[in-house]
Homo-oligomer: A and B are copies of this chain.
Amino acid sequence: MIKSQESAVGRDVAAELDRADVLAEFRERFVIPDDDVVYLDGNSLGRLPRATLARLSEVAGAEWGGRLVRGWDEGWMELPVALGDALGSALLGAAPGQVVVGDSTTVCFYKLVSAALDRAPGRSEIVTDVENFPTDRYVLEGLARARGGSVVWLRGDRAAGPTPEAVAALVSERTALVTFSHVSYRSAHIADMAAITRVAHDAGAFALWDLSHSAGSVPIALDADGADLAVGCTYKYLGGGPGAPAFMYVRRELLRHLRQPIWGWLGRRDPFAMEQGYEPAGGVRSLLSGTPPVLSLAGVQEGVRLVAEAGIERIRAKGIALTELAIALTDARLAGFGVSVASPRDAAVRGAHVALAHPRARSLCAGLIARGVIPDFRRPDVIRFGLSPLTTRFVDVWDGVEALRDLLGGGSGSMAGV
């Protein structure tokens, strides 16, 4: 049954894994084009759910076109909070009233960092790592400079991620905020949210988590882990669409103490009173600023609904199985060509993508794309295989690895399904 002499896993084995996949039916809930590619970048932009296409048409055509401005009283105004609650309870481990959706991840992150710094008088340092997602790093840099503070950079082992011990060595009575990505955008390392949050709290600092690469791919327990603040992207595993609005989480007890910096009418008590003087709306609505982006929010709602229906435990199990396969195939089929695994080998601390390192990663990525396999490249030397549990098949992993092997000169002509 095994076609390749070098591997214990043939494409038929991958196909068998697909047949046994309890989530296989979910792939049919997404738009898959006729001229489809081997899509290994769902951690950058998730596929389009069929329900979203229908919902966008409904919200635009029937609600906006048909109900016009009345839509605000007929559900639109509740979207940021209703969607936040649904997302929080299904996927973030957050009780209602602590999550809201709106603004880009960058703007959400800015708001929460700024609010935290305001509540930490006399503390001027922010601890993060050089592996944090770029937009987070830039926001921190900007806010630190604006306030005369500084960013303390953890420069650890990439695949090992930020350990509680390494963070403990950097925090002090000067630390206002500790912030990391829960799942690293490059290595997929899962940080220990509970332990690092404790380290932050022991130093009297706030802990803010970026969940962009974990929401919808790994279980998250914000309330249980004691997180103070969190943000996350919705266009990756949550399928919200390109540039869809992000979410913010603020732990309930902090809501009344934190004040975000962008005082807009939607964050004000009784916004349509349009009165003089800003007073926060109270609760999670105080995090809002401008008018909610209704079409985008409706899209996110469908994506979240689908992920919640599949269930994060099943998604996590398949994410582990997909990444285990990718690593096994890399070891068996690519290691001889200089490709190494740059993600954790321990599945317990690995999210749903796999980083493969090779000195020619950039040109290899371009070669893969030319062959209809879409991963992405991350400088300096990483090919990232994003394995989206609801849409990526085990044969996609196999085909992606074989295409890379072909490019590296180990061609078996296997793309057609050896």
Say yes or no: is A413 at the interface (Cβ < 8 Å to chain B).
no
User: A103-B104, A265-B138, A274-B379 known; A68 and B47 CB under 8 Å?
Assistant: yes
User: How far does the alpha carbon of A44 sit from the alpha carbon of B64 in the complex, in Å?
Assistant: 12
Q: List A230-281 residues whose CB lies under 8 Å from chain B.
A: 233, 235, 241-246, 261-268, 271, 273-278
- A87-104 near B? 1/0 per residue, CB < 8 Å: 000000000000000111
Which B residues are in CB contact (< 8 Å) with A76? 242-243
Judging by beta carbons under 8 Å apart, are A262 and B107 in contact? yes
Which of B69, B134, B135, B146 contacts A261 (CB under 8 A)?
B146
Judging by beta carbons under 8 Å apart, are A265 and B106 in contact? yes
Judging by beta carbons under 8 Å apart, are B61 and A48 in contact? yes
Given A56-B60, A105-B291, 18 other A-B contacts at CB below 8 A?
A41-B68, A45-B68, A52-B60, A53-B57, A60-B241, A64-B242, A69-B376, A103-B103, A106-B265, A106-B289, A106-B290, A107-B264, A107-B290, A130-B276, A138-B268, A274-B378, A274-B379, A295-B295
- This protein's copies in its complex: 2
Binds B, one of A31-39, A322-330, A337-345: A31-39
Judging by beta carbons under 8 Å apart, are B295 and A243 in contact? yes
Closest 9 CB pairs of A and B: A104-B290, A106-B264, A106-B290, A142-B263, A31-B65, A48-B65, A242-B294, A135-B265, A243-B293
Say yes or no: is A19 at the interface (Cβ < 8 Å to chain B).
no
Which B residues are in CB contact (< 8 Å) with A138? 263-265, 267-268, 278
User: A31-B61, A57-B53, A65-B31 known; A295 and B104 CB under 8 Å?
Assistant: no
User: How far does the alpha carbon of A289 sit from the alpha carbon of B105 in the complex, in Å?
Assistant: 9
Judging by beta carbons under 8 Å apart, are A291 and B242 in contact? yes
Say yes or no: is A110 at the interface (Cβ < 8 Å to chain B).
yes
Which of B107, B376, B379 contacts A103 (CB under 8 A)?
B107
Judging by beta carbons under 8 Å apart, are A271 and B104 in contact? no
User: How far does the alpha carbon of A17 sit from the alpha carbon of B172 in the complex, in Å?
Assistant: 74
Judging by beta carbons under 8 Å apart, are A107 and B242 in contact? no
Say yes or no: is A72 at the interface (Cβ < 8 Å to chain B).
yes
Which B residues are in CB contact (< 8 Å) with A41? 68-69
CB of A285, distance to nearest CB on chain B (Å): 14
Judging by beta carbons under 8 Å apart, are B264 and A104 in contact? yes
Say yes or no: is A70 at the interface (Cβ < 8 Å to chain B).
yes
Which B residues are in CB contact (< 8 Å) with A106? 262, 264-266, 289-291
- Who on chain B is nearest to A41 by CB? B69
14 contacts across the A-B interface (CB closer than 8 A): A45-B68, A69-B376, A102-B104, A104-B291, A110-B264, A135-B266, A135-B290, A137-B278, A138-B263, A146-B261, A242-B294, A242-B295, A243-B295, A295-B295
